[in-house]
């Protein structure tokens, strides 16, 4: 299938390579010509502007969430023709997606939101995709999704916005699961027994109730360094966790585990945390308890 692909970051490049493996014609564009060159070396047709992609009639955007998506749509609308398809495969907020879909449809084109999971490995060898939009268009592109995903790993989940909503919730669940795993190894680390984290992660990866890709990745991480001494404990977050909590607040859903997982990430980046200082000061005030002076 002839596809125009915009956005050649780590995820985008891997997805393009996967498409090429499956025999698709891919015309690629990125603000960085170096990234375009990389894709061309893999077999893609390079473009020097979005205009060169218009003929494909099918544009896959894999650009950073937020303003870049709107900017890309701004450029695409005047150069696409009625009936063409724009796909947002990135991590957009579903509210934005609903708004953009209306705009694109108002201009006579189709819009799909595709929440993409599976990490870099999935992008390269078979991802997981939750697709929102018109089910008819999704059916029409079935070959494309089938080639980009593992068997069973994609599907229509609802109208525009539903794809990104499902991806958002997926990431919220991911936050909770990762934090649960982290806590488990923290208990092992300070246990009355000396555990080999790599060995335990390996055992848990095979046959246990908690086996899965995350456990495989933990095993891989511990294989490099059982003490994880190469990194600090500062955990970044990219927005999807916050949006999940926003959605839960809007909908009145109780999500203590997902929320606490995000709050631990915030805490991990807060040194000499002010909340903790207030509590320590309070203890000192009422009980004459000592405190740890600032170092």
Q: Enumerate the active-site residues.
A: 167, 174
* Residue found under tokens 């870049």: 68
Least distance to its own copies from the beta carbon of 284, Å?
A: 7
Phi, psi (degrees; rounded to nearest 5) at 42: -85, -10
For its own copies, the closer of residues 74 and 234 by Cβ is: 234
Least distance to its own copies from the beta carbon of 43, Å?
A: 22
Q: Which of 96, 87, 99 is nearest to 130 (CA)?
A: 87
CB count in 10 Å sphere of residue 291:
10
Lateral strand order in the sheet of 25-29: 45-46, 25-29, 2-6, 58-61, 85-88, 110-117, 127-132, 149-158
Least distance to its own copies from the beta carbon of 28, Å?
A: 19
Q: How far apart are CA 48 and CA 67, in angstroms?
A: 21
For its own copies, the closer of residues 55 and 276 by Cβ is: 276
For its own copies, the closer of residues 82 and 192 by Cβ is: 192
Least distance to its own copies from the beta carbon of 188, Å?
A: 6
For its own copies, the closer of residues 3 and 117 by Cβ is: 117
CB count in 10 Å sphere of residue 70:
15
CB count in 10 Å sphere of residue 184:
15
| Residues making up the chain, counted from first to last | 295
């Amino acid at each position: 299938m002839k596809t125009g692909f915009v956005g050649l970051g780590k995820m985008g490049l891997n997805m393009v390579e996967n498409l090429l493996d499956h025999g698709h014609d891919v015309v690629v564009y990125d603000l960085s010509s170096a990234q375009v060159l990389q894709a061309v070396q893999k077999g893609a047709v390079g473009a020097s502007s979005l205009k060169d992609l218009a003929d494909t009639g099918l544009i896959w955007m894999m650009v950073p969430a937020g303003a870049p998506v709107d900017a890309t749509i701004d450029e695409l609308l005047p150069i696409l023709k009625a009936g063409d398809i724009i796909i947002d495969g990135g991590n957009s907020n579903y509210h934005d997606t609903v708004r953009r879909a209306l705009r694109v449809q108002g201009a006579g084109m189709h819009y799909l939101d595709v929440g993409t999971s599976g990490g870099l490995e999935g992008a390269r060898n078979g991802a997981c995709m939750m697709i929102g939009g018109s089910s008819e268009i999704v059916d029409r592109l079935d070959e494309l999704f089938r080639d980009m995903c593992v068997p069973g790993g994609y599907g229509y989940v609802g109208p525009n916005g539903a794809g990104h909503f499902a991806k958002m919730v997926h990431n919220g669940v991911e936050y909770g699961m990762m934090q649960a795993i982290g806590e488990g190894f923290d208990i092992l680390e300070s246990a009355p027994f000396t555990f080999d984290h790599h060995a335990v992660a390996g055992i848990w990866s095979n046959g246990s109730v908690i086996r899965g890709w995350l456990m495989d990745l933990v095993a891989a991480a511990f294989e490099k360094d059982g003490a994880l001494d190469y990194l600090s404990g500062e955990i970044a977050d990219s927005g999807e966790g916050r949006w999940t909590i926003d959605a839960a607040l809007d909908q009145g859903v109780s999500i203590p585990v997902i929320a606490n997982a995000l709050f631990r990430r915030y805490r991990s980046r807060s040194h000499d945390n002010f909340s903790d200082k207030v509590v320590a000061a309070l203890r000192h005030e009422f009980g004459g308890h000592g405190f740890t002076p600032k170092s």
